[in-house]
Structure 1
Amino acid sequence: MTDAPDPLLDGTHAVLTPEYVEFRFTLAGLYSRFLAWFFDALLVVALTLALLTALNLTLGAAFPGFASALGIVLYFLVDWGYGIALETFWSGQTVGKKLLGLRVIQRSGVRIGFYHAALRNLARPVDRLPLFYLVGGLSALLSGAQQRLGDMLAGTLVVRERRLKTPSAIGATGGEGLLADPLFVARVKRLGTEAREVVLSAVLRREELRMEARLRLFSALGTKLQELLAMEKPAHLSDEKWTLLVAAALLPRTA
């Protein structure tokens, strides 16, 4: 009989693409999420104290006690604003999550937006009840996907970032001449955020896929990229090498 997995340790979340290719994400455990929250909480307290000090210096003399009365309100505003702003504009990360190598994503595997960041952060007061995220921790233990109530509401997950290195052969596709074509590069740069993430994720994870799934994925991507870029794929390039070429155009050029 096999041991049951420890819910405090990392699990996995599988995402099946429309091409029936499966990508797996490692879920963040409660220990790492608590440490990330602890670092973020210290920053929120420091920011709140700094703002309160500034208020006391500017308003303290004219309105005694007024700045101090705003302390609790100001703390919640900073706390909510900190999480919502950073997770929206920093691709699902806060300073604490960055330090611990964690990221918030949608259940579909793509990055979150303002709507998701706002929902999961506005639900924090409930998750924190009665103290130290007891409600949130229990819901994460019971959910099967390590989701606190805010994550369930927003349809999000907290995952561990994988340290994937950019393959050295990413530009060695046989179509390097296109990388010097300003029209091709300009069209690639206009790709939307989701299209960019799909391309780069497929390129970085392609070695993990079985050959059949790999061929199916890049066939679909090759066709879609021709449509998005409004240009034909060079006849001598395979769908995978065409996608690699697009990914190379997305990455910063090195001297």
Structure 2
Amino acid sequence: MTTASDTLLDGTHTVLTPEYVEFRFTLAGLYSRFLAWLLDRLIISAVSMGIMLGLSVVMLAFPGFGSALLVVVYFLVDWGYSIFLETVWSGRTVGKRVLSLRVIQESGVRIGFYHAALRNLARPVDGLPFFYLVGGVSALVSGSHQRLGDMLAGTIVVRERRLKVPSALGTTGEEGLLADPLFVARVKRLSTEERELVLSAALRREELRLEARLRLFSALGARLRDALAMEKPAHLSDEKWTLLVAAALLPSAGARAPGPRARALA
């Protein structure tokens, strides 16, 4: 759990949604980022050493070819490690996961291959002249603790917050609707951005002021109606409707008793 002192130490990044609702992220400090980088470097070094031992026979038999192959493989491991893991692991590497850090876009959504590649391909410049001096100075003077690679890719590194799933997601009062295959199937087809928006709103709704909360869920309710092509049950508020969609995104969504179907739009 992030404390107030951590927030003051590491700084915050505020995202204003189109509905004029603010979400705050705690920025990762240089110390935690350095520890995550150090752990990742140890892993890369261990993997590289294993590959080097594996290629030793080739290097002995074909010195020139073996050396060239070793350089190529080391390049792929050194650069590909962070790019691959941050792409498939939602902005995390092993080091970042251990330190509870994550790379996200400045807009607050998850990064993709483009962002992961761009920020990591800039590492040689950030690493100049030694021990990431350029990147460290850049992060110190940047308001969002961004090294040059982050500025280039439009990304930030934040501390992950351990948020409890609201009890409302498990007791929506609409267990029958959650068991409707049509409803669940359409929810599962939501885009990644839409899923993250719904889940983030559900997890952080208690942090919002009443006016902002009503405005956010009103906009989400209308967006989900169009995205799912399904009518919202008349007795549900926009917030309850959004929480119902969030509940359907959880792994246990399909294990509920049968009930009435949501009405599809024509």
TM value normalised by structure 1: 0.93
Q: Deviations over 1:208-244 (max 9, x none)?
A: 0000000000000011001000000000100000000
Corresponding position of 1:145: 144
The 8 Å contact of residues 105 and 112 in structure 1, kept in 2 or not, is answered as: yes
SS at match of 2:15: strand
Structure 2 CA distance, aligned partners of 1:8 and 1:66?
53
SS at match of 1:19: coil
Letter in 1 for 2:208: L
Amino-acid identity (%) = 77
Corresponding position of 2:51: 51
Structure 2 CA distance, aligned partners of 1:83 and 1:220?
36
Confirm or deny that 1:10 pairs with 2:27. no
The 8 Å contact of residues 87 and 104 in structure 1, kept in 2 or not, is answered as: yes
Corresponding position of 1:223: 222
Corresponding position of 1:135: 134
Corresponding position of 1:112: 111
RMSD: 1.9
Q: CA deviation at 1:168?
A: 1.9
Structure 1 CA distance, aligned partners of 2:85 and 2:218?
36
Letter in 1 for 2:188: K
Tell me which moved more, 186-195 or 69-78. 69-78
Corresponding position of 1:25: 25
Q: CA deviation at 1:78?
A: 1.1
Q: CA deviation at 1:69?
A: 5.4
The 8 Å contact of residues 55 and 70 in structure 2, kept in 1 or not, is answered as: no
Corresponding position of 1:174: 173
Letter in 1 for 2:19: E
Structure 2 CA distance, aligned partners of 1:166 and 1:31?
30
Structure 2 CA distance, aligned partners of 1:219 and 1:39?
44
Structure 2 CA distance, aligned partners of 1:151 and 1:85?
17
Q: CA deviation at 1:171?
A: 3.1
Q: CA deviation at 1:113?
A: 0.4
Change over 3 Å in CA distance of 1:199–1:90 after alignment to 2? same
Structure 2 CA distance, aligned partners of 1:12 and 1:32?
15
TM value normalised by structure 2: 0.89
Letter in 1 for 2:31: Y
Corresponding position of 1:159: 158
Structure 1 CA distance, aligned partners of 2:236 and 2:21?
22
Structure 2 CA distance, aligned partners of 1:220 and 1:43?
45
Corresponding position of 2:264: none
The 8 Å contact of residues 104 and 158 in structure 1, kept in 2 or not, is answered as: yes
SS at match of 1:204: helix
Give the aligned length. 250
The 8 Å contact of residues 7 and 26 in structure 2, kept in 1 or not, is answered as: no
SS at match of 2:168: coil
Alignment gaps of 5+ in structure 2:
256-266
The 8 Å contact of residues 52 and 68 in structure 1, kept in 2 or not, is answered as: no
Q: CA deviation at 1:50?
A: 1.1
Corresponding position of 2:235: 236
Q: Deviations over 1:104-144 (max 9, x none)?
A: 00000000000000000000011001111000000000111
Q: CA deviation at 1:101?
A: 0.2
Q: CA deviation at 1:8?
A: 10
Corresponding position of 2:101: 102
Structure 1 CA distance, aligned partners of 2:77 and 2:8?
29
Change over 3 Å in CA distance of 1:244–1:7 after alignment to 2? closer
